[in-house]
Amino acid sequence: MGSSILLVSFALVVMILISYEPYSWMGVNASDVPTSCDHYCNQTFESRHQCYKWCEESAHKDHGYKLYGYPYSANTRRVLAVLYEKGLSFDPITVDLRSGEQKKPRFLAINPFGLIPVLVDRDLKLFESRAISQYLATVHRSTCTQLLNHKSYKKMGTETMWMYIESFEFDPPASILTQELAIKPLVGQKPDYKVVNETKPLLEKVLDIYEERLKNSSFLASNNFTLADLFHLPNIQYLMGTPAKRLFENRPSVHRWVAAITARPAWKKACDVKAWYGKKMNGY
């Protein structure tokens, strides 16, 4: 009888500690936990204090990542969003697209295709923003935002399907409109409105399908934010600053989805040029 009372008392103390201050008693300060981790740990069914501990360790551990990129580059921002969603540390190495640095011999020795971004993980070198993103989401599957479902083949299949849809259906017309309506004006060039008018219906067709999907789902692959949503962010961010924003705003479910994904703290940081240049700079 006495031992049972002791066990119940101990359990109550633990519950009070966890509910009152879920991670400070484990030596993890709230200010040290990345925003995305904080949100994930409050939603997960895993042990909260262990979850916060993983996130804190991940945020401060040097993984040895080097990211060659440019902070205004859409593809670089795609990878940055994953790094920040996961609370990962990395070394940014600027490849200045304005001066054509990506086509110079010293960068071609890193990526012979002359494209950014490039992620270097010790002896591993990865090109292509979506491949890099999937790699990071898989390696760090247990930390912070769960960007891929590794527990259900069916859910992973659905996520992969929408990732391919982004790549083959959404990205081609969206990238053309981004180039014409957002990038060209930034460098003092005039958009080719013939190309714009030919491309808009192609993107509208895709967004009509998205609208129907999003009427019944919070996000594209499921009711959770995943890489399938994240991959869309770079083009959407640029297009929402152009007249093409009406293509998204005229579709209520798409508009709601765009507002949700662009408001994520990790994405806002990915778009913050100061966050890139404020980190330690490395040469080649």
Residues forming beta bridges with residue 68, ordered by sequence position: 93, 118
pLDDT at 169: 98
Q: Which residue has the tokens 């993983």?
A: 54
Distance CA 93, CA 69 (A): 6
Domain membership of residue 179 (yes or no) is yes
Domain membership of residue 166 (yes or no) is yes
Q: Which residue has the tokens 């709601």?
A: 256
Q: Give the Cα-Cα-Cα angle 249, 250, 253 (nearest 5 degrees).
A: 75
pLDDT at 55: 57
Domain membership of residue 255 (yes or no) is yes
Q: What tokens does 180 get?
A: 């014409």
Most confident of the following: 12-16, 21-25, 138-142, 206-210 = 206-210
Domain membership of residue 45 (yes or no) is no
- The number of angstroms, rounded, from the C-alpha of 245 to the middle of its chain's C-alpha atoms is 21
Domain membership of residue 237 (yes or no) is yes
- Residue 184 maps to which CATH number? 1.20.1050.10
Domain membership of residue 193 (yes or no) is yes
pLDDT in tens, 159-196: 999 999 999 999 999 999 999 999 999 989 999 999 99
Q: What tokens does 57 get?
A: 């360790």
pLDDT at 16 over 60: no
Provide the sign of the torsion angle of the four alpha carbons 193, 72, 144, 17, taken in this order: negative
Find out whether 167 and 231 touch, Cβ atoms under 8 Å.
Answer: yes
Least confident residue range of 44-53, 74-83, 198-207: 44-53
- Sheet holding 65-69: strands in order across? 91-94, 65-69, 118-121, 124-127
Domain membership of residue 258 (yes or no) is yes
Over residues 29-53, mean pLDDT: 51
pLDDT in tens, 78-108: 999 999 999 999 999 999 999 999 999 999 9
Find out whether 155 and 148 touch, Cβ atoms under 8 Å.
Answer: no
Domain membership of residue 129 (yes or no) is no
Structural domain count of the chain? 1
Over residues 107-120, mean pLDDT: 97
Q: What tokens does 19 get?
A: 């509910």
- The number of angstroms, rounded, from the C-alpha of 196 to the middle of its chain's C-alpha atoms is 28
**Parent domain of 189:** 153-268
- 3 state SS for the chain: CHHHHHHHHHHHHHHHHHHHCCCHHHCCCHHHCCHHHHHHHHHCCCCHHHHHHHHHHHHHCCCCEEEEECCCCHHHHHHHHHHHHCCCCCEEEECCHHHCHHHCHHHHCCCCCCCCCEEEECCEEEECHHHHHHHHHHHCCCCCCCCCCCCCHHHHHHHHHHHHHHHHHHHHHHHHHHHHHHHHHHCCCCCCHHHHHHHHHHHHHHHHHHHHHHCCCCCCCCCCCCHHHHCCHHHHHHHCCCCCHHHHHCCHHHHHHHHHHHCCHHHHHHCCHHHHHCCCCCCC
